[in-house]
Chain A
Amino acid sequence: MASLIRAIVGTALAVLILAGCAPTKDPGEAGIEDPEDDARGAGEPTEREGEVDVSELVAQAQAASQGGDHQRAAGLLERAVRVAPREARIWQNLAVVRYRQGRYEEAQTLAQRSNRLAGEKQALRERNWALISAARRQLGDEAGAQEAEQRRDALPTRDTES
């Protein structure tokens, strides 16, 4: 019973995280987001050299994932990863898709990979930690989930994006 409640709470939390963590965006556009957002929102410097516009791929992946075709979404995001492997947001999007597929271990690892590439993009890192926390909870690792939440809360407060 306890595990059932935990699962329900965990799922609800995950939905909240995935749906509502980007304050500047329509919460209906859950999870998969345009990689340009952070650069725009936070006004952080970005390296233009070799940077690729993968927004169309990401949009297609988002549509596929929302339509329930996670496999296709993952395939499109993988292509985005291949052309822009240092784009932290894409790895995060892939983590979200794996989470939706119930592949929590991979979701967690992908979010960590995203974190390593996120640099100073605080909003992105917050979402990664939230995702890691939710994934760990799904895996029954309550202590790990709480640790991830602490890591998230310990991040320097970011400038408001809006």
Chain B
Amino acid sequence: MSDASRRSKKAGSGGAQRRWRRWYGVALGTCLTIGVIGGAGYVYWLDRWVTREFEGRRWSVAARVFARPLELFPNRQLSPDNLERELRSANYERVDAEPSPGQYSRSQQRFHVHTRDFQFSDGYQAGQPLVLRFEGDHLRSFRHAGSGESLTLVRIDPAVIGRIQPNHNEDRELVRLDKDVPRSLLEALIAVEDQGYTDHFGVDPAGILRAAWANIRAGSVVQGGSTLTQQLVKNLYLSNERALGRKINEAIMAILLDAHYGKAPILQAYLNEVYLGQDGERAIHGFGLASRFYFGRPLDEIALAEQALLVALVKGPSRYDPREHPERARQRRNTVLSVMVDNGYLDASRAREAKTQPLGVTKEAGDETLPHPAFMDLVRRHLQRDYARQALANDGIRVFTTLAPHVQQAAETALRRRLNRWHKRMEGAVVSVDVDTGEVEAIVGGRDTRYAGFNRALAARRPMGSLIKPAIYLTALARPGQYGLATPIEDQPITLQDRRGERWRPANYDGDYLGSIPLWRGLAESRNAATVRLGLDLGLRAVVSTLDELGGRVPDTVYPSLLLGAVDQSPLGVARFYQSLAAEGFRTPLRSVRAVTDSEGDVLSRYELELDRAAPDRPVYLANHALERVVSEGTAADLSNWIDGEVNVAGKTGTTNDHRDSWFAGFTGDRLGVVWVGRDDNARTGLTGSSGAMTVWGEMFSRLELRPRRVDPPAGVKRIWVDPGTGKRTAENCAGAVRLPYIDGRSPQGRSDCLQRNEGDGWLQEWLR
């Protein structure tokens, strides 16, 4: 019999109390049961939440945009300085010792380069040590530094030229625990943040005591009591409030996480999640991006002292910001190194040595500046056709573009240097395109190349002026029965009605009229009157059709003033038009993106080389010959101050009314450049095409490798001697004779007096001999 019943007996008639007690017991039991069930339910719910979030987590990673990779092969034309520019833009570090991945050394004409592993859009390429030897502007030999084996074709991992930002401004570069993270960095992290990490179960009671003791000894907070797991839970799931309830949740969730996933996945998640800095509005998360952000190099390339600095930042990225508070950051870094020694991860001498190192942070935020706003503008426009902004920003996709860093640098430097000689409000734009593939290699949108504002290369539409003239001459040359390069045309004043019905008299630039001139001189010397007469003879409609086929912009209504370029065109539009000429009549849509892959390297889209016939090859060859004469003897003859005549540059100058726009478009064997110089307020510049834009072109191309234009004619074209005065066939030794290409069976009918005499002389001389 229980005490209670004895007492109740003692109490006699205490029935009510007994009932109360029974009820109390039941209630307590029920409460406990509900509590246990509820608690278990709560933990279960937390568990579901924790696992769902952890497994379904999609890291927010900005899209990375890459330059084109530099291709290396023996005998490649490339100057050592331009190789070095390419390496620097890809964040290669110059060293004196044997280079590790991401480093190079140079002694004059000899380079050692250790490339990095890289996932290209068409496959993976492992990093390798290379030895390169130059002779002048040629890469003469090219070997694997280890095996000495001669190599045929290797790509250098490309520069990061930009990123497309997630909407919520959180960015990271994912690292893999087993591949990308130096062991010493993990040791530093564990030593400082969570010494019991490998043994505890998510929370670490001993660690809390240890941290407290260490902090008391140091007289300040040198260690935290939270485990890495708790810190991760806090970052992933919880708000920042300091409340006991939250602490309890954090502990339960940390234990659950530890039980479910174990040490390695949690550590990897931590390495990618932890907040380590701020770049304007963009939050820098994870050690991978932090390494780029502070040192400009990937995590597996940074030295011990730099690793310690990153670990130091965990405690307070803004308080220890090495760019803002270098001394504070240095002290904290050295504390990290000392703690590593205390924990046996590092011997004292190495720590001492590391402590003497400078912080090593880059002045500007590593790859994270956006050095090519104008080019990125084009890339964005290109991608918007296929990708929603959301998809672009959130999935860590990789965009492989066509930007050639050393070409871009040459264009920027040339434009800046030339503009500085002129009025301070003078502006300019440059577009550079690979002739054969239509790939855009460089874009400069204005004087301030880092300013992401008005992009003149794409958005400034200006009258193209004389740059339109090749369309007229090509229209003529496509009628070989009527026109050849030496066909006489009339450079005489002409009066027309303009679009308002007023009299319009197109004048020559120099005010002179030469009378009858051979067709090629009309283009080479950019004779306005002769060109307008020719265009009217051909018919505006025919000229417009040629313009259209070459990819030029055709206005809605056509007036004779079109013949002198009264049609607005952006520098990129002009490049489209000239690309068709440069590629001998094969039109290729201009491209700025080669491929887009997901973060794993699987191709999402590929933008292919497409080819289309814009004009038949023989007339284009003749027109290009006239454009070559623009440079060898015409309005662009001064280009010889920059470029050797052997390159056979073909090009055209353009100057619009009252010197408001100065243009030059020109091409070598493999590269087309279009330059515009003018003012945003459309004021007069005082520059012609040749004194303005052409000098920018010359300065730019003189910094680049020049591939001569091929001049061998296509099948069915022969070069013959012509008398420029009469347009008749003549002989090489006749005065003024010019050698011009003609389509077979279409050469001039008449024979010059000199030729007839010559033939007679030849007979006489032979007879006399």
Contacts and interface: CB of A to CB of B under 8 A. Distances in A.
Interface of A: 48-54, 56-57, 71-72, 74-76, 78-79, 81-83, 85-86, 94, 106, 109-110, 112-113, 116, 119
Nearest to A64: B122
Contact of B122 (A52, A72, A86, A116): A72
A85 B439 CA distance: 13
B71 A83 contact: yes
B278 interface: no
B549 interface: no
Given A52-B153, A82-B439, 12 more contacts: A50-B138, A51-B75, A52-B73, A52-B76, A53-B153, A75-B121, A75-B122, A82-B434, A82-B437, A85-B437, A109-B611, A116-B617
Interface string B67-79: 0000101111100
Interface in B436-466: 436-437, 439
Contacts of A112: 586, 613, 617
B725 to A, nearest CB: 34
A94 B436 CA distance: 14
B586 A109 contact: yes
B542 to A, nearest CB: 23
A57 B153 contact: yes
B713 to A, nearest CB: 10
B73 A106 contact: no
Contacts of A94: 609
A119 B713 CA distance: 10
Q: Identify the 7 closest CB pairs spanning chains A and B, nearest first.
A: A85-B436, A53-B152, A109-B611, A52-B73, A78-B609, A83-B71, A75-B122
B609 A81 contact: yes
Contact of B608 (A74, A85, A109): A74
A75 B437 CA distance: 13
A48 B434 CA distance: 22
B670 interface: yes
26 contacts: A50-B76, A50-B138, A50-B707, A54-B153, A57-B153, A75-B122, A75-B595, A75-B606, A75-B608, A79-B122, A81-B437, A81-B609, A82-B439, A85-B436, A85-B437, A85-B670, A106-B610, A106-B611, A109-B611, A109-B613, A110-B611, A112-B586, A113-B586, A113-B611, A116-B714, A119-B712
B611 A83 contact: no
B523 to A, nearest CB: 23
Contacts of A85: 435-437, 670
Counting chain B residues whose Cβ lies within 8 A of the other chain, the interface size class is 20 to 34
B437 A83 contact: no
A109 B585 CA distance: 11
B584 interface: yes
B584 A109 contact: no
Contact of B153 (A49, A56, A71, A78): A56
Given A49-B75, A50-B77, A76-B122, A83 B610 contact: no
A109 B586 CA distance: 8
Contacts of A116: 584, 617, 714
A57 B152 CA distance: 11
Contacts of B608: 74-75, 78
Contacts of B434: 82
A51 B152 CA distance: 11
Contacts of B609: 74, 78, 81, 94
B612 interface: yes
A81 B75 contact: no
Nearest to A74: B608
B647 to A, nearest CB: 14
Contacts of A49: 75
Q: Is the interface of A mostly helix, strand, loop or mixed?
A: helix
Nearest to A55: B152
Contacts of B153: 52-54, 56-57, 83
Interface string B698-718: 000000000100101010000
Contacts of A50: 75-77, 138, 707
Contacts of B435: 85
Nearest to B120: A79
A78 B607 CA distance: 11
Contacts of A75: 121-122, 595, 606, 608
A4 B707 CA distance: 48
A52 to B, nearest CB: 5
A108 to B, nearest CB: 9
A137 to B, nearest CB: 18
A55 B606 CA distance: 23
A131 to B, nearest CB: 14
A119 B73 CA distance: 24
A72 B317 CA distance: 45
B615 to A, nearest CB: 12
A82 to B, nearest CB: 6
B611 A71 contact: no
B128 to A, nearest CB: 15
B52 to A, nearest CB: 37
Contacts of B75: 48-52
A5 B434 CA distance: 43
A71 B609 CA distance: 11
A51 B75 CA distance: 7
A87 to B, nearest CB: 11
A47 B437 CA distance: 22
Contacts of A110: 611
Interface string B525-541: 00000000000000000
Contacts of B611: 106, 109-110, 113
Interface in B617-667: 617
Most chain A CB neighbours (cut-off 10 Å) among B153, B439, B610: B153
Contacts of B595: 75
A53 B73 contact: yes
A106 B609 CA distance: 10
A112 B617 CA distance: 10
A86 B611 CA distance: 15
Contacts of A83: 71, 73, 153
A112 B616 CA distance: 11
Contacts of A52: 73, 75-76, 152-153
B437 A78 contact: yes
A1 B82 CA distance: 61
Nearest to A110: B611
A76 B603 CA distance: 14
A131 B434 CA distance: 27
A120 B162 CA distance: 46
A83 B437 CA distance: 11
B153 to A, nearest CB: 7
